[in-house]
Structure 1
Amino acid sequence: MIEARTDVVGSLLRPPELLEAREKLARGEISPPEFKRIEDRAVDAVLELQERCGLEVVTDGELRRESFQSQLTEAVEGFGEHDISAFLWGEWRGDESVGDKSVERPRTLGVVERLRRKRHLSSEEFVYARARTDRIVKVTLPSPSLFANFWDPDISKEAYPTLDGFLEDVAEVLREEVEELVRLGAEYVQLDAPHYPLLVDPKTRAFYERRGWSVDEWLARGIELDNYVIGSHPGVTFAFHLCRGNQGSRWLASGSYEPIARRIFRDIAARRLMLEYDDERSGDFQPLRHVPEDKTVVLGLVTTKTPRRETVEELEGRVREAARIIPLERLAISPQCGFSTSIVGNAVTVEDEEYKLRTLVRAAGRIWG
């Protein structure tokens, strides 16, 4: 099992030249080979950044994706027409600097045909990154039930009469992806599951209940699908990331993990729990008492939403506070989420990003030696 004391959730800031190249590719102004060269250089830069900061675990920054979950819809046919709003909709909340913003769910959003995989989702990401670093390369994948918003009882009924049937096929695609990554030598895979903490918010909970499942069913059936994706792979570590939304320095929900902690922490087969704890919206550390003894908690103490510069002393204090509930040797630290979970990004600079990652590493050195 991976025992790293420092970790990253997934995404890193996309450079302006990569965002510009993505737009040019869409307009047909540059060729796919030209775009790939620009994309590769951007990945090289974020790998070097993470190494320079001293991180034990690195990712390719999810730079090849439009959103942290978009590699599924890009690699699999059947989802119908959609744009980035398919991943951004909701009532987003922010502090005074960014304000609140509501993004409507597209009326035409829905799976319209049986799913057919065109290619693997993340094998390119892993193979490229592995060849360019000696650090542990983590690959992030979405939790299958996150895609419930792509099932619509009217639009999707001919392809998938039930939500269950659709999500089972999504889980099958993701399970095959894990098997391919393991075959290629991956040793660390993460499932991103921001939809579970959204169940603690009445408005977002109501949306998920309208999909046909109660909260208890979301927890039971959703985790069953997650564990199916994880499967059985000795020597491979799985992480499970739970946050409350992260786009444009905004969030979707607030609240303690307490209502969902016992079920998720106990039943998920992942051995590392990546938990958001960067401010008061996340509640206190009391839910950590539900974490089984064989699991590690990676505390997301460093915010990716604002330029606020945490200190080593602050992070050490927070870890010591959590260690009153769960032993220090079963803790690690990371940012609370990605720095750019879609091409929208957060209101921080590359300099902020590097400072935060360096501070994370320095704090880990002080705490664990």
Structure 2
Amino acid sequence: MAGETIRADVVGSLLRPPGLLEARERYSAGGMTAPEFKRAEDRAVDWAISLQERAGLPVVTDGEMRRESFQSQLVEAVEGFSGHTIEAWLWGDWHGDEAVGDRRTERPPELGVVGPLRRRRHLCAEEFVYARARTEKTIKVTIPSPSMYANLWSPELSKEAYPTLDLFLEDVAEILREEVEELVRLGAEYIQLDAPHYPLLLDPKTRRFYEERGWPFERWMSRGVELDNHVIGDHPGVTFAFHLCRGNQGSRWLVSGSYEPLARALFANVHAHRLMLEYDDERSGTFEPLAHVPEDKTAVLGLVTTKSGRPETPEELEARIREASRFVPLERLALSPQCGFATSVVGNALGVEDEERKLRAIVQTAENVWG
């Protein structure tokens, strides 16, 4: 897989079908047994894989159907965290158009690391094993970047278990590294680290929050990437992607700005083969930072928005790819959505028909550009 270039890619999550959302509510309320809920999840994964196969994608995910949020599985699989609700994954100073509105969601004070981390189960192994049995396509498994969990550490709440942020994130990184090793043992060939917290540093207010955790900006660019590389490890034949977006919940976003302040440190130093980059509108800036993409990496352009049903045409997508090729040769480019369609169970403001149409447009564009 590592030597194969996939031109039409997918980031991760898909809209949860209504039956799964209803099952999740019933299960949480005690109205459904664990085996019944597991079968509901299985059906949703079958549906997600079928949708991606119909669209013609060469790589598929399980749609993150088993997750409350793209980042929730660490808290669900590992001991040491206080209780949480869905709001734990939705907090932030969100922005959107008039249809979805701006909304400030406060961080729940009760969520955090309060004890030593001990893994109860693997985070993603079940997802991969089940999906592997249901498709011949390459399966991408998504896991969070370890330093993304810095917001779960605080000097007050966590001091008994982890006196410093470094000690906490080192344990998180080790758990995620073991997860990667297990996925590789099971036959996974494509693994993605989701790292939206790096672009969030572009916003002064958000950067202040993260720096209050104990790391200045420069340390985020060095120690954070060091932990990412620890998770990636050394696995010949396995492709790793690194996803950088600017927030995606309920069709809203968190920050704007060019990749330029991050590009030199991130693009060259993270040991991923593919950089999944958000470029669906003017908030992402120009393609000029792509000049920092090293020759051994592919830049996957997230030109297709998941925040609305706006239909992109292969013609307009091809024109933007050609524009980006001024900075990265065409043979080192690929195409994808800018983010998942439902980074939590909340989902974005578009329909399944829009979702499938967008994935088909990605496949058609890739065929037009690369053959």
Please, what TM-score do these two structures have when normalized by structure 1? Answer: 0.99
Which letter maps to 1:29? G
CA distance in structure 2 between the aligned counterparts of 1:204 and 1:74, rounded to whole angstroms: 26
Deviations 1:269-296 (A, max 9, x none): 0010000000000000000000100000
Correspondence for 1:126? 128
Which residue type is aligned with residue 300 of structure 1? G
Q: Given residue 208 of structure 1, which amino acid in structure 2 is its aligned partner?
A: Y
1:10 alignment counterpart: 12
Q: CA deviation at 1:208?
A: 0.4
* Contact 1:109–1:152 (Cα < 8 Å) also in 2: no
- Out of 45, 59, 62, the residue aligned to residue 43 of structure 1 is 45
Tell me the secondary structure at the aligned position of residue 50 of structure 1. helix
Match of 1:109 among 108, 111, 117: 111
Q: Does 1:257 align with 2:264?
A: no
Q: Which residue of structure 1 aligns with residue 304 of structure 2? A: 302
Partner Cα separation in structure 1 for residue 319 and residue 81 of structure 2: 46
Residues 58-99 of structure 1, C-alpha deviations (whole Å, 9 max, x = no match): 000000000001111100010111112111111000011111
Within-5 A mapping of 1:267-346: 267-346=269-348
Tell me the equivalent position of 1:83.
85
Q: Distance in 2 between matches of 1:93 and 1:60?
A: 28
State the 1:109 CA deviation.
Answer: 2.1
Which structure 2 residue ranges, 5 or more long, are not aligned? none
Q: Secondary structure at the match of 2:114?
A: coil
**How far does residue 152 in structure 1 lie from its aligned partner after superposition?**
0.9
Match of 1:172 in 2: 174
In 2, Cα distance between equivalents of 1:93 and 1:203: 14
* CA contact 1:298–1:334 (8 Å) conserved in 2: yes
Count residues in correspondence: 369
Distance 1:253 1:30 in 2: 39
For residue 188 of structure 1, what is the aligned residue in structure 2? 190
Q: Is the 8 A contact 1:64 1:125 kept in 2?
A: yes
**Any unmatched runs of 5+ in structure 1?**
none
Specify the alignment match of 1:197 in structure 2.
199
CA distances 1:213-269 after superposition (whole Å, capped 9, x unpaired): 100001100000000000000000000000000000000000000000000000000
User: What is the CA–CA distance in structure 1 between the aligned matches of 2:96 and 2:48, rounded to whole Å?
Assistant: 27
Structure 1 stretches of 4+ with a deviation exceeding 6 A read none
Q: Secondary structure at the match of 2:113?
A: coil
Q: Structure 2 counterpart of 1:157, which letter?
A: K
Q: Secondary structure of 1:115's partner?
A: strand
Written as runs of structure 1 = structure 2, the 5 A alignment for 1:343-358 is 343-358=345-360
- Which letter maps to 1:42? A
Identity of aligned residues (%): 72
Q: Which residue of 2 aligns with 1:236?
A: 238
Q: CA deviation at 1:201?
A: 0.7
C-alpha distance in 2 between matches for 1:348 and 1:322:
27
What amino acid is the match of 1:58? V
Task: Say which SS state the counterpart of residue 345 (structure 1) adopts.
Answer: coil
Pairwise CA distance, 1:108: 1.8
TM-score after normalising by structure 2: 0.99
The match for 1:21 is 23
Q: Alignment partner of 1:113: what SS?
A: strand
- Cα distance in 2 for partners of 1:109, 1:69 equals 14
